[in-house]
Structure 1
Amino acid sequence: MKDVRFSRLKSFFVTVLLGAGAVALRAAPPEERPLVFPLPQEIERVGEDFPLTEDAAILVPEHPAAEDLDLARFLTAELSDRYQVAVPVKRAARLPADGPVIVMGSIDNRLVRQYCREDGIAVDAATPGPEGYVLHVSAQRIVIAGSDDRGAFYGLQSLRQLIYRTADGLRVRGVRIRDWPHKKFRGIRLYLPGRENLTFFRRFLRNFMALYKYNKVIIEVNAAMRLDRHPELNAGWIDFANSLNYTRRSRARGPGMQAQDSAHHDTADGRVLEKKEVASLVDYARSLYIDVIPEIPTLTHSYYLLTRHRELAEIPNAEWPDTYCTRHPKTYDLVFDVF
């Protein structure tokens, strides 16, 4: 059953990728592919590319903010782990006259402010605006100036997409970008992953959702997280998932053999995660500026509530009841206690 659960999870993520258009982008001829996706509000190809070698340095102020260090560590890890290029992080009081250097941060970063002041670039909380950034890449400098910390982070995600490999090593395409979101809410809906897929889920958050600047993930939970006051729901959830997996079904049948609501029993691969595992996943998403919205099904798709509480079901004699009775006095005691 392990292989079946993993196959379903993998198929779901492929569907997400198709829906987002990433596959279509890769299939397009190189000359038709955007340099950055989603396409920035303003982008111009300019000058020479930046040679990304170990002679470069990522500069942070002498007394860097935690957000500045987070950006520097993110890029250092990306270059080391993906490209095996070690670019050091150094502290500086001022931007040097020449490079090669990389500077990233919000407009609160003094090195970023110096660059914007000297080059006459307008960046503040209102320009380009919330989650907005400016990214300039030349032969000697890469500068990301965010209107806020989220904007600086999204500028880094655009930078990740501009890196390419040549026979002579890594380079970053020379560009001038001014960007802000097309939409405030940019989200994907997913199931809570199973324990064996937590590492894969984290990679998906970092290398797809963050890379393409999604800022919301809706995660369906059901009874797939430990419910301390309702262990019967966790136990019933595993019974329910086993029943459907062992009979190779995607949904249960009602008393008249009618198809009921889809089961969503793939949530956490039909098993239960501990609260600390879910909390760790939420913390990691937040570190990528992705807000987690938990989804707890109510009324319909409520199998997880009713596996051990048939007395609350609209149709108690169903194989696996999917809808609770809205008029039962104890229904909402259970629903709100789970919330």
Structure 2
Amino acid sequence: MQTPSPSKPSVCRANARVAATARVLFALCLLSACFANAAAQQPAQTTNQNTATTGAGAGGVVQIIPAPKSLTATGESFRLTHDAWIVLAEPKSEDERFAAQDFADDVRETAGVNLRVGTGGGKGQILVGTLDSPRVRAAVEKAGVSVPQNLDEEGYLLAASANGVVVAGQSAAGTFYGLQTLKQLVRGEGEAAFVQGVKIADWPSMRWRALSDDISRGPVPTVEYVKRQLRTEAMFKMNMHSLYMEHVLQYASHPLIAPEGGALTPAEIRELVAYARRYHVELVPEQQTFGHMHKALELEEYNDLAEVPYGDVLSPQQEGTYKLVSDLYRELDELFPGK
């Protein structure tokens, strides 16, 4: 007797679950070093500050990566029925709409639930906005979540009960991070999908949470691959992505350095910078200058700038060295208008 094959939607959602699990495992490795150090230096403000797991509630234990500063599982659950809406406190805010749609897309992919984004809706509301909105502030107070005095610009509050969900950021970035946490609280699929009941107050221990990616060795990543990295990092509240480069950026002032077809173009960098900002990630260049420059110095045009013939270190005694470095930095400054 043959076993019937699973339906295509079930397979797709199963694959999405696998992908989501892979992202979690990736993040565990990615975040362990930086967050463990920060947690070790600060006294615990709640009993679960340094763990990603808290007591069992609806749907089992609540697991969040990275662990929030304060997390209380209520044992309730918010059902993601066809009546559920994602409600924008400020409909004109592009940041809030983008973050809400990002959450809705993730729920559709992983749980097979289509959530509408708008300003109305019935009782089943996921209210999204910043704490300076009277509507959001009132919802937070009604949910019984207090605003910590040290809640910084990237901080957020999240409350989920049987009656609704509120995600309140101190800023647009905080709202975005609150929705990233909400992604991890979704359990089940289809009509059985729900959000675990919690009360959360969270903010980062460090201003910058970064990943440095060496793109000069091996195949240069495609734009789509870097975008996937940015989305994954943002999901786990990292806010800086640094590209380590030696010869893999096409400079207009020195076009010979980058190999044809093996480098990122200025147009691609601009696209990635804009994309990263939607996810509250700063794209930062790491361009080698005095050292690790063999790919440039092996070229006859630049060989006289090498400390030794065809070496990998620029000579500080050559005036051309400073012009080369100045040219590269000038273009980088225009392409990466970060902080």
* Category of TM-score, reference length = shorter chain: 0.7 to 0.9
2:227 matches 1:202: yes
**Per-residue CA shift, 1:274-323, capped at 9, x if unaligned?**
2111111111111111111100112221224323211111111x4xx211
1:289 aligns with 2:289: no
| Offset from partner CA, 1:50-69 (integer Å, 9 cap, x none) | 11232201112474322221
Task: Name the stretch that deviates more: 126-135 or 224-233.
Answer: 126-135
C-alpha distance in structure 2 between counterparts of 1:218 and 1:121, whole Å = 36
Q: Relative to 1, partners in 2 of residues 1:314 and 1:34: Cα closer, same or farther, differing over 3 Å?
A: farther
Q: For residue 44 of structure 1, what is the amino acid of its counterpart?
A: T
Aligned residues of 1:123 and 1:146 also touching (Cα < 8 A)? no
Provide the C-alpha distance between the structure 2 equivalents of 1:110 and 1:16, rounded to a whole number of angstroms: 35
Query: Match of 1:250?
Result: none
**Is 1:212 aligned with 2:236?**
yes
- Closer/same/farther in 2, CA of residues 226 and 66 from structure 1, 3 Å limit: same
Is the partner of 1:85 in helix, strand or coil? coil
- Alignment partners' CA distance in 1, 2:61 and 2:144: 31
Q: Pick one of 311, 316, 322 that aligns with 1:326.
A: 316
**Counterpart Cα distance in 2 of 1:67 and 1:191:** 30
Q: Is the 8 A contact 2:62 2:196 kept in 1?
A: no
Which AA in structure 2 matches 1:293? Answer: V
1:47–1:139 Cα contact (<8 Å) kept: no
Aligned-CA RMSD value: 3.0
| 1:308-339 deviation per Cα after TM superposition (whole angstroms, max 9, x unaligned) | 211111111x4xx2111111121111111111
Find the aligned partners of 2:80 and 2:174 in 1 and give their Cα distance: 23
Write out per-residue CA displacement over residues 83-105 of structure 1, whole angstroms, 9 at most, x where no aligned residue.
3311112214xxx8x72110112
Pair 326,33 (structure 1): closer, same or farther in 2 beyond 3 Å? farther
Query: Any conservation in 1 of the 2:291–2:312 contact (CA below 8 Å)?
Result: yes
**Unmatched segments (≥5 aa) in structure 1:** 1-13, 23-27, 239-269
User: Which residue is equivalent to 2:264?
Assistant: 273
- Aligned-partner SS, 1:173: strand
Quick one: structure 1 residues 53 and 204, their matched pair in 2 at CA, closer, same or farther if it must change by over 3 Å? farther
CA contact (8 A) 1:163 1:171 kept: yes
Distance 1:216 1:63, change over 3 A: closer
Gaps of 5+ in 2: 1-24, 34-52, 330-339
| TM-score where L is the length of structure 1 | 0.73
What SS does the aligned partner of 1:330 have? Answer: helix
Partner of 2:184, secondary structure, is helix
On the 8 A contact 1:60/1:111 being kept in 2, the answer is no
Task: Report whether the alignment pairs 1:315 with 2:308.
Answer: yes
Q: What residue in structure 2 maps to residue 102 of structure 1?
A: 126
Tell whether the 8 Å contact from 1:68 to 1:109 is kept in structure 2 after alignment.
Answer: no
Distance 1:15 1:210 in 2: 13
Amino acid paired to 1:149 = A
C-alpha spacing 1:300/1:160, structure 2 compared with 1 (3 Å) = same
Question: What are the within-5 Å matches in structure 2 for residues 126-275 of structure 1?
Answer: 127-165=150-188, 169-192=192-215, 197-206=222-231, 208-235=232-259, 271-275=262-266
Count of residue pairs brought into register by the alignment? 278
In structure 2, give the amino acid aligned to 1:153.
F
Q: Does 1:42 align with 2:53?
A: no
**How far off is 1:130 after superposition?**
1.9
Instruction: Work out whether 1:73 is the aligned partner of 2:101.
Output: yes
Residue 250 of structure 2 aligns to a residue in which SS?
coil
State the identity %.
29
**Partner Cα distance (2:107, 2:163) in 1:** 18
Tell me the amino acid that sits aligned with residue 285 of structure 1.
Answer: A
* TM-score computed with the length of structure 2 as normaliser: 0.73
Q: Please tell me the residue identity of whatever aligns with 1:100.
A: G
Query: Which residue of structure 1 aligns with residue 294 of structure 2?
Result: 303
| Alpha-carbon distance between aligned partners in 2 of 1:139 and 1:191, rounded to the nearest angstrom | 46
Q: Is the 8 A contact 1:210 1:288 kept in 2?
A: yes
Measured against aligned partners, the alpha-carbon deviations of 1:139-189 in whole angstroms (never above 9, x if no partner) come to 121111111111111111111111122685212111100111111121110
Secondary structure, aligned partner of 2:187: strand
- Measured in 1, the distance between the counterparts of 2:328 and 2:145 equals 51
- Distance 1:60-1:204 versus aligned 2 partners, 3 A rule: same
For the residue of structure 2 that corresponds to 1:285, the secondary structure is helix
In the alignment, structure 1 residue 113 sits paired with structure 2 residue 137: yes
Q: Which amino acid aligns with 1:79?
A: V
In 2, are the aligned partners of 1:132 and 1:146 still within 8 Å (CA)? yes
